[in-house]
Homo-oligomer: A and B are copies of this chain.
């Protein structure tokens, strides 16, 4: 770090240096900076990628150093083409060490110095020059950051230039657009870099041209928290969760489910009762070992899920078939201490959810409930969040640890072409109720001798705040969030317009009065509305603000509208404007909100369906996945084949980034509705992956 400070000082640069905890991803870096008391309030992360072009084995490589905004997509193929270099591959850690004596997490433009600059090719994203926020650069350490203005950074780099070594300023965004679009034939391998480098945040960035994490923060959804992997749900996102809770809670109560609360702590003995189950969860369990200054006698787990915590009591409470069905639910939070890259909503160390746990006398009854709940999950996604999902069953490999079978609603993120598990409803069978487990048993009421025992049939089912993340990714656009009206805490914003310095006070107050009045009228009709009468903000600022936050409908009233007794409606989902009469306005906008909700769903559904590709030849699988589709294969349903598909589809897209979501395709679900694909002919239709007899059409895809 000293050397950094010195070399910057030699250019009369004395930037802020912030020390923080070590970081190993954009998210943890941003976390560390956001929660630091020092450093600027807003900033932009700068990433430094190093590629190695294909050269003769004996030749000394000339690495390509690419300096770009964190959110930028880097198309190494297009860069190579531009520089006339072949087959750029992400450099190995060894190469980084050799050239810069640094690991990838400590790398930054400041690693370039007079000694190494001439030995590399340096590419700078031209758009960096346009950034007005301070740039965050690693100070040759993953736990220290300096902030420079973009002009200072460029000054630093230009200062290193010699006659023979210049920086290359490239417009990475346009390079990307110039690259060939994905087609059904295998795209050039380099294409993969851009997609897999860096996880959702960036993946979304590719298309939506925004930084995903900044997007959440700007849109007021969440804030980063100073415990890594944890996030604050601000009212804007929490209110969506409340809407989902309200709806789902009423529905399950109709099914006879009752709410309860079990403690968050689970003794290790109880947690470890079911072997498969604990194997699935133990690497992520958080342990309390101390209270005050005392060490606990034995560590106590924080629940990752509550099966084993609850079922000893089910065994106690269920004494007779008359105690069945027992249907309990709880709204709580669970902790899974993920060590992978955290992602807001999708992969967080604590998350909110509901977990339902039920016990039944017969398998038939349990089966029926599994599907009833799955149907409610489908409706949460489709009817509340306007997000299309496909209900189906998980493969044996992907089912819940310790369960009998798992049903799921599977979603799809078009931007990345990846599948995402929406929510799952499990039948646990009698696995947890059998004698050597929790022994939940009743007398068989149909047995006149009262001798026969039945071990109960159990289900568990859960829906988490992940739903919000899926909704955001599916509907969001370049302007920010797009909220479906049914879950938006503000469905309509009313903005007074056309007020200038020349507007008389009287007209001004008339317009504001009309906006206020309009809001009151709509509120009375049960619409969630807000009149934005802030006097220190322009209409333009307000438009942008509410668009970013995703409010479904904006109503504008200006002098002209006032005269005509009308308001201008502007839809967030498609930007369509129209003038409508103030007369009968509540009913007009209610219908409009309904249309927004339906149109959002229809658009998303069309996209999903168009990207669900029936594939029957192995050679089409990877190209189809690479074109951001989910493939549907007539599958043999053998676990070995499933592993093989993952392996082969993963290999095909190297080099990968270790931090990226798995690039191999997993089985996502076997859809219940098989009728949309060509009928499988038993004994004739073959699995394209292994040639065995196909059983059912199964969705395979890269996933979150």
Contacts and interface: CB of A to CB of B under 8 A. Distances in A.
A266 interface: yes
A286 B335 CA distance: 15
Q: How many copies does the complex hold?
A: 2
A294 B339 CA distance: 10
Nearest to A22: B297
A290 interface: yes
Interface stretch (A229-237, A454-462, A515-523): A229-237
A155 interface: no
A263 interface: yes
A470 B181 CA distance: 68
A267 interface: yes
A263 B230 contact: yes
A350 B265 contact: yes
B263 A536 contact: no
Interface stretch (A200-208, A219-227, A414-422, A607-615): A219-227
Given A260-B232, A265-B230, A312-B226, A285 B289 contact: no
Given A263-B231, A266-B227, A284-B291, A536 B322 contact: yes
Contacts of A225: 262-263
- Highest count of chain B CB atoms <10 Å: which of A231, A232, A294: A232
B313 A232 contact: yes
A261 B290 contact: no
Interface in A230-264: 230-235, 238-239, 241-242, 258-264
Contact of A284 (B238, B263, B264, B292): B292
Contacts of A242: 259
A262 to B, nearest CB: 5
A74 interface: no
A680 to B, nearest CB: 42
Contacts of A297: 21
- Highest count of chain B CB atoms <10 Å: which of A267, A291, A293: A291
A235 B258 contact: yes
Contact of A261 (B238, B260, B282, B328): B238
B286 A259 contact: no
A328 B235 contact: yes
Contacts of A233: 260-262
A333 interface: yes
Nearest to A315: B37
A536 B320 CA distance: 12
B328 A263 contact: no
Contacts of A313: 223, 232
A467 interface: no
A283 B287 contact: no
Nearest to A233: B261
Nearest to A297: B21
Contacts of A262: 225, 232-233
A569 B478 CA distance: 65
Interface string A24-39: 0000000000010000
Interface in A520-553: 534, 536
Nearest to A439: B37
Contact of A227 (B265, B294, B536): B265
A289 B317 CA distance: 34
Nearest to A328: B235
A230 B337 CA distance: 23
Contact of A287 (B285, B288, B335): B288
A529 to B, nearest CB: 15
Nearest to A35: B312
Nearest to A329: B235
B282 A292 contact: yes
A661 to B, nearest CB: 20
A287 to B, nearest CB: 4
A101 B335 CA distance: 46
Given A226-B267, A284-B291, A322 B534 contact: yes
A435 interface: no
Contacts of A536: 322
Interface in A294-338: 294, 297, 299-300, 302, 312-313, 316-317, 322, 328, 332-333, 335, 337
Contacts of A91: none
A291 B340 CA distance: 13
A259 B284 contact: no
A248 to B, nearest CB: 14
Contacts of A293: 283
A352 interface: yes
Given A238-B261, A267-B226, A333-B264, A286 B287 contact: no
A580 interface: no
Interface of A: 21, 35, 41, 223, 225-227, 230-235, 238-239, 241-242, 258-267, 270, 282-294, 297, 299-300, 302, 312-313, 316-317, 322, 328, 332-333, 335, 337, 339, 349-350, 352, 534, 536
5 contacts: A225-B262, A226-B267, A230-B265, A288-B289, A322-B534
Given A226-B312, A227-B265, A238-B260, 18 more contacts: A41-B316, A223-B313, A226-B270, A227-B263, A227-B300, A232-B260, A232-B263, A233-B261, A238-B258, A242-B259, A264-B333, A264-B350, A284-B291, A286-B288, A287-B288, A289-B290, A292-B337, A322-B536
Closest 7 pairs (CB-CB, A-B): A291-B337, A235-B258, A230-B263, A287-B290, A233-B261, A283-B292, A227-B265
